Every structure is written in structure tokens, then in C-alpha cells.
Structure 1
Amino acid sequence: MQHTKLSGETFYNMMVNGSNKLKEKSSFVNSLNVFPVPDGDTGTNMSMTLRAAVKEIENSKHLSIGEISRKFAKGALMGARGNSGVILSQILRGISKGLENKVEADSQEFANALREGCKSAYKAVMRPTEGTILTIIKTAAETAVNCCTDDITELMDSVYKQSKIMLDRTPEMLPPLKKAGVVDSGGMGLIIIFEGIMEVLRDNIEVLTTDKSIANTVSVINNYNTQDIKFGYCTEFIILGDSKKVTQFKNDLELHGDSIIVVGYDDVIKVHIHTNDPGIVLSKAIQLGELSKIKIDNMREEHRSLLSESVHEFAIEEKTAAVEDSYQELKRYAFIAVAMGEGIKNIFKDLGVDYVIEGGQTMNPSTQDILDCINRLNAEHIFVLPNNKNIIMSANQAADVSDKDIRVIPTKTIPQGITCITTFNPEADVEENVEELTSATDMVKTGSITYAVRDTEMDGVVIKEGNILGLIEGEIKEVGEDVFDVLEKVLDEMIDDESELITLFYGQDCKEEEVDVFFTNIEEKYSDIDVQCYKGEQPLYYFIISVE
């Protein structure tokens, strides 16, 4: 269908449909992760960023395109998760700038808005890398600006086609993509958004408003109380295992919940259950094979949230009442850290961190999550420890929109975060501490043990799905079949003559008795080095290793 002008309503439909499209395909985008480790989350981060933006424009369908784009960009900015989500939010921020104060937009104005989106994205990245989502938005902007047509549908068709061609070239720009045999995941996410936009323009799709679906849900939920929910956790996941065991597994689950759906085909088993103990269900499931796409929702919490018209997608560990927060005495310093695993979160709390946000690999907190913690602290100076390279941009974005003195220390790993908090000197001035904490990140080496989620070849090393992977500073250094064999080899490579301390954090999939045996052997092997071991309970990673 031809569009010579974009109204606010059409723009609304474009953005919502783009968000819906990305949500449908987020798992596919995640699978394009270059490294074959189980923490590819680009699709999830981009999708959740857009969903936060969509929530911001509920009930705004009939506003001007300038106003809707402004609200949409604000929602994306505050909901941005991970580097890909932050970059996407900056693209939308630039588009909003290009559409500012406009009731409608013609093809040239929309093309200029895409160019502003490109400029904003490049400015947000300290060292822009080509072959990424940045290259795709640059191609989109250049194509739009150079497209001589009054028809916005035709313009976006050209944008989509040229962007897709450029996406297919990204492996030639970035050797890691070529080695892994994938295109850039962030670029693919943007292409999928363009697909959703094109559907609306071409087929004149009117997307159902989110607020209607919420209203309908609330009307149903109002018919029962939270206490009426017998099993509180809606648990869904996929088992990559023998589907012949479906019947027995379903029978095993009957004692642990209701609304049970277990469907198997080939080597995949899809599971849905309402239960009061997701841990038991997952521990039974993992005996059948590798788990994927785990999703656990607290239905009682959702019920309460819907009734109060307040939905919070991310749980902050400390649930201190807002009234109590408002009476906090002003203190000089406060800390916020991001971590996953009960053991690791407790270590940060014991070291004096004020708030620990649950998050990390596959679960990046949003700008708003970090800002919520900042707003609850009454301190002259607030330090944020992201502890993950994919959270640093969100933390910086939260600092930018806060009126408090926020210092983001760019910690990329849990060991770096722990080293920083132990280095902190409450008697020193803030600039001194910033310098010391930033320097402290170089004092610690980080390793980790996880597993491969797909077959690949990297630097001449053949990796098979299910192999145990040993990483040092994010690079795969060891591949094997046994967790402890790989762990020992990684330790041997990390330790040198200057090493004084080894710290192991073991994950939720490790057996404590096996860890104890290994710990004893390591103490004997490195008798001149202090060795510590903690129950981290982190998912996905059997071990996180720190060597100082």
C-alpha cells in the first residue's frame, strides 16, 4: 500500500509490529552468538528494550508522529538492556529527534529521521566497529536519504533489501563472524524489526493495542484472589533429549504441579507446568538432557502487579519499602552491583554492597532497573559495578539520566567486581577511589568453565555441542569432555610466578562432594598459593575462576 505521509497511528503500528516480530524471533537472533557458549542474549535484550518502549506508548495511538516517537524513544532508553539494547535505544532516540514536533512525516522527513538515528547510534559507541548493527543502520540511513521516491513503503522496501544485503556481508567485515559461520546478531535483530515495519506499510496492518490485552487479563484475574493460585510458578523450558521418555517424565511431574503439558518430537521435549518448586522440576529435567529457553514466571506476583497496574520485569533483591528508603540518612558512599547466583550475590552483600541487582549473562538489567536502585540510595557518591561487559552501557546510560553523582566502574567480570569492592577505601576521596577501583580491574585474571551449545570451529579447534569449554578473559582456551579436567588445565594456564590467590565459585550444576575433592587436590598442587572456594550457585557456568 502506498504511503506518502506517516501518521502517528501508522508509526505506532510499525513500531509495535516490529517489536512483536522481534519477540517471535529473539531465540533465533540469540543463536547467532559468535561464541558457542550458552549466553547469547542479543535477541532477548533487543526484544525487551522494544517491549519497554511499546509499553510507554500504550494509549498513544492517536497522537502525532513526533509525540509517539518521543515517548517510544524514552521507553526504549529506560528499558534498554545490554549493549545491543542500548544501541537500539539510541537509534530510536535519533529517529525521535528527526521527527520532533511533526504531526506527520513525508518520505524525506522519515529518511532524515533514519539518518539521525544512525548518527545517534554511532555517537553512543566509543569505538564503533563495522560489521555490526551500526553498519546496518548506516546502510539503512544512506539508502533512505538517497531513495528518490515519495512513497514511504517503497522507501522502506529499498531500506530493507539493501540492509539485508549488507547483513550478509558482515562475516567479511568481522573475521569472528566468518569463523563461526554467522551474520551479526544485532544487525539481524534490526532487519527483523524492518520486516515488522514493512508488513504494516505493505499490508496496512493495524496492531492490537497492548493495553486492551492487559485490560482483558485484569478483568479475568479480578475474579480470583492470589491465595487461589495453588501452584505459583509458571515454568516453561525445552529439553534437548530423547523424546521417547516423554510419558515417564510427564508422570514424574504430576506430583509437583498442574497444567502440565509435555510434548516430544525427535530429540526435543517441550515442557509447561505450574509448580511451587521449579528447582525440583528442572533437576528432574536435566537428567534427560540439556535445558534450553527456560522461563519461570511468578503468577502470584503477576496477579498483584496487574491489579495495581504496575508491572516490574526485573526483581531487585532488596525489597525495602519506599517509605523506609526516603528516611535513609545521607552517607558518603554507596554501591550497586550486578550478579547472578545466590552465593555470589551474598558475597557482594557481605562486602558492603547496598543493592545487588539480579542479572548477568542472558539476563541483563535495564537502564531503568539500575536507575531504580540509584534513586533508592541516599549517598553523595554512588558506585555501580556492572560485572559484565554487556551491562556497562546500560549502567552509563542510567548514570547519564540521573541527577546524582554516579561512578560506573567498568567491571566486566564477577572477580573484577569483588576485587574492586575489597580495594575500596572509605576514607579516600571519590576521585582517588575511582582511580584505584578502575586500576584494580587489571589486578585479577578471570576464567570460566561452561559448555558448547553448538558445533563450530574456532582458531583451528573443532568444538562439538556439549563439549566443556574453558575460557580465560572471555577467550576459549581449552575444550574437553570433563569439567574438572578442563578446569585444571585453565588454572595451569592462568597461574604464574606472581599468583598469590586462587578463588573458585562453583555453579548450581556442580556436585558439592566432587568440588570438595577437586579443591583438596588443588590446595596440594598449589601449596604456596592461597586457594579459596565458594558456592556461587550461578547458572550456565560450572565455575568462575579468579586468580590474583
Structure 2
Amino acid sequence: MLEHLDAGAVQRWCAGTLAELRRWQREIDALNVFPVADSDTGTNLVLTMEAAVDALGSQHAGTARDAWTRMARGALLGARGNSGMIVSQLLAGAAAALPADRPVRGRALAESLRAAVTAGYEAVVQPVEGTVLSVADAAARGAVEARSDDLAVVSAAALRGARLALEATPAQLAAMGLPEVVDAGGRGLVVVLDVLDAVVRGAAPAEPLTSAGPVEAASVVNGVQEGWEIQYLLDVPADADRRIAALRTRLSEVGDSVVVACADAGVGLWTIHVHAHDIGAALEAGLDAGRPHQVAVEPLITTGGLNGNPHSGHISGALSDAARERAVVAVVPGAGLAQVFAAAGAETVEVAPGTSPTVDALLAAVERSGATEIVLLPNDSAHAAVAEAASAAAGADRTISVLHTRSPVQGIAALAVADRERPFRDAVVSMAEAAAATRWAEVAVAEEAAFTVVGPCRAGDVLGLVDGDVVAIGTDTLAVTRDLVDRLLNAGGELVTLVLGADAAPALGDALAGHLRARWPFCETHVFDGGQPRAVVLLGVE
């Protein structure tokens, strides 16, 4: 029986937690119904704790706080999924509250668990009861109410409180219209606290475990895509409080299940998680706050619910183990771009300027493709809702994934990496990442006088727009386009795509390519004759 936690105890707890999460991984996956029933919570918690074990290493040097801090930082940097993010933030909050100048006994552990709950609720933009946060709160209250400095008494009280709270989660989830099962993230936290209690009682593995290699990924068959899970690390410069507050607001507008946690305050490193339909918008929110990197994107594919049976949601096997018919359906403005996309193998749906395709037109293209796995590229934010409606109406005999491409150049980037030989889910993720990594802009001629964010324009003025917003006004198409390209490349880039519209001068493509060779010699440039009716030039930078 331990009287206090030391670095060795923390190391055994971390390794033992990984072992137990591996043991219960598939059961926890099967319990996963909130926030999305995508059957991966157990897998994500295992991957998160693998990162914690790797960060902690095998050294017992330092205090319990030192070891716990290394473990928490590793978990934060390697956090996977909504629950992995929250559990890692709970660990970080607890680590920050541990005493550095005295042994960690019962009361110190109770205070750290209370601090963990505060950190967890602060990281989640819209906390929901009946989840891992509720279980963490009950564990902390149990530990504090034990009013003891005996480490074993407090760890047992925390575990008991967590188990009771977990038993209450089915009713809380049912109140949200979800199946009556215990919360998957809460179940994972009970495993974490169970191992902690075992370490305190001397019942944990004596030797640390090392990573056992890749974890078998959770996957589903015949699921329905509900959007994307987007995670990235974010370097935030000075004025972090203001930037992070604005980021939380923006991400809440873009999607849900938003978790924003500080991974390392010393260097301004944050870890970001959001569920959204628009990958680009989620990344652009990060760009406004700092520098995103290590971006990870996964499709949210639901299994259709558990109907009260904690094992009925466990579906194994790859999404597309066998080669199946696959197609890309793209919405394009005009016959020229239709030829560009068709040449790359896409089924196209042409639309006139200012109009959207109909659901019937998209379904007809899906039928023409003859495929059972389809990636749908709307190529304009205005077309996204129709694309989602077509996906929902397509029937259960097809798997359709809608990538929320907001410009044809993002669609071109996605199509360039489409790989029919890869499993469908992997191929879709690669296409989504390529589209999201493409900053887009366009050059158009003003049809009437108007006020813009950079000043008034007159009919006939040449406008440079980035992500739909006017950033430059001029009278010369080449000059405005060069300015726009330079603006985009000043933020970095390796590949420039130029799509010339119907009103582009014959020499414009050569002039722009010459500018890029002279000013940006290390960039690869692709020029297409798109013939689109409104934008004189569409630009994409990857």
C-alpha cells in the first residue's frame, strides 16, 4: 500500500492504464454513441495513452508531479478523438495542481482531481452532462468528500464516485435521444482511475509496458458519414488569450465537439479538436489564431446506434477491403472546367453562374457513374447543402462522402490525389486533406459599383478575392492577379494552380507563369483553360 505517489508509481499507473485500455478497447468502441456513434472511443483512448507512455519513458527521475506532467504533455500532443482530448486535459489539469515540494498524499490527490475537472470543463466549449466530464466531476467530489490524507482512501473514493456516475450516464444519454448505454469516454476514465487505485494498493504491473506497435483501427461497414473530425496542433504567438477566445468562438460556428487545450504554455502550443463538415473553415480558424501543424482528419462515420446493446455497435473489418466501383462526382461552372474534371476521371454536373445543381441532377450523375463508392465535390459553399441532400437521398446501397470543397481549385487538388486502389476511407481522407491544404482565390470584374472591405469599387474594376472576400481592387487583370498570387505565396506554398476563365486574355496564362518563375522559382505551376463564365482567374495554392 502506497503512502504517497512518486515518479515510479506514476509510471506504473501510466503503463498499466495503457494495458487495461487495450484489454477493453473493443468494448469501449462499441459503447460509443456520443457525440458521434463512430465506434472509435476505445481506440482513440489507447492511442492517446500510447503517446503518454512514450513521453514518460522508463526513467523514474524527478517527483510525482514531474512524471505526471510528462505523461500529460505526451497525452495532449498525441490525443486522438474527443474523449482522448478531454482525458488528456484532465491529466494536464491534475498535473498542474500537484505539489512539487511535498509528497502527494490523499488530500493532494483530491485537490488535483478537482483541478482536473476545472481544466476539463474549460477546454470543452459546450460541455455536456452524462459524459466523461460528469464522471470526472463525480470522481473529484468523491475524493474531496473523503476528507482524508490516506492515499488509498482517496483513490478508492474517487473510483467509487466515478463508477456511480458512470452508471447514471445511460439515463442522461437517453434524455438526449441517444441509446441507453454507459458513456464510452466515461467508461474509459473509470479504467484510468481503476488502475490508479490498483497502483496505490500495490496491485499494478511492476514493469512498464512499451508500445506494442500500431493499434488496429476502429472502422465501420455501411455507415453514414456525419462530417469530419479535425485535429491539429497550433502554435500561438503573443496575445494568446485573445486569439484563443476568438478561436473558440469561430470553431463553435464552424462545427461542434470543440475542445481547445493548452499543450505547453511555455512555448504557446495548443491542441485543437472539432467536428465539422467544412475542413477548410476549421483550418482557417486556426490560421487566424496562429500556425496549425500536424493536421489529422478522419471521417465521422456512424454505425446507426446501439439500441441498448453495448455489443451490437461493434463492427470490425475495413470499410472497403475489396476493390469496389468508385467514382468522383464534381459540380463545375461551365463546359471548360467540366472537361478539366472529366479528363481527370470525374463525372461532372455543370451549373450556370449564380445557380446551384438540383438533387436530381446530382443523383443522375451518381447513377451514370455506376459506382457504389462516391466522393462528391460541390466546389462551392453554395452547393454544399444540395450535395448533402443528394448524399442522404442516394440510398443504402451506396457509400457517398461529401467533401466541402469551396472552389474548383480545391476540387482539382482533391481529384489529383484520388486513389482507387486505397481503401475508400483512406482515399477520402487524403482527398480532404489535399482540398483543405489548398488556399483559394479568384479574380473577377465588378458588375456594378459597391462598397467592399478595402474600399469602394466601380463597375468594371478588377477585384481580387480570397476565400470570397475582396482584398484588392485595380484596373489591370494581370497586376491584380500577380498581387493575389504573391499574397497567397507569402504565407507559404509549393504548388500553384491557375484556372483561366472565358474572359481571360490569351496571353494571361503565359504572363502569370512567367511571373511565378521569376518571383517564386521553387513553386510548381499548373495552368488550365477552364472557361468559367464569371471568374477571370481561379487560383489555388498548396
TM range (shorter): 0.3 to 0.5
- Point out the structure with max Rg over C-alpha: 2
- When you count helix as a share of all residues, which structure comes out higher? 1
Normalised TM-score (structure 2): 0.48
